[in-house]
Amino acid sequence: MILTRLIPVILSTLLIAAHLSRHYSNLIAFVGLILLLTLLIRKPWIPRLWQGLLSIAVVEWIITTVELVQFRWIHQEPWLRLLVILSSVILFNIFSIIWLENRKIKSYYQ
């Protein structure tokens, strides 16, 4: 089933929704979760839409990482573990973007 192939995209969306809920608004996070329903639409532009959305999420994660690491560094608090964790989240989101180029996913949306 296609949903099992989309697990990385779904997990990336859940991560960014949790982040948006904590730092911005629950409404924005809810909209992000509702957008997951677009994965059920079998149109060729859906994977491109999600690659764009996940790219925006990567930019948000990078900005957040830089801000939090700078804050901790300035206040002489431990920051290395934070950097490793958020870098892993960024890499996972990038993996999800690339994962949408999978042959079986592409054939599903054609």
Burial of 67 (0-12, 13-18, 19+ CB in 10 A): exposed
Convert the pLDDT of each residue in 3-62 to its tens digit.
889 999 999 999 999 998 888 888 888 888 899 999 989 999 999 999 999 999 999 999
pLDDT at 22: 86
Q: Is the pLDDT score of 1 beyond 80?
A: no
Distance from the first to the final alpha carbon of the chain: 16
Contact 34, 26 (CB under 8 A): no
Nearest CA to 87 out of 68, 104, 105 is that of 68
Q: Which amino acid is at 19?
A: H
Question: Which residue in the block uniquely carries the two structure tokens 């730092």?
Answer: 23
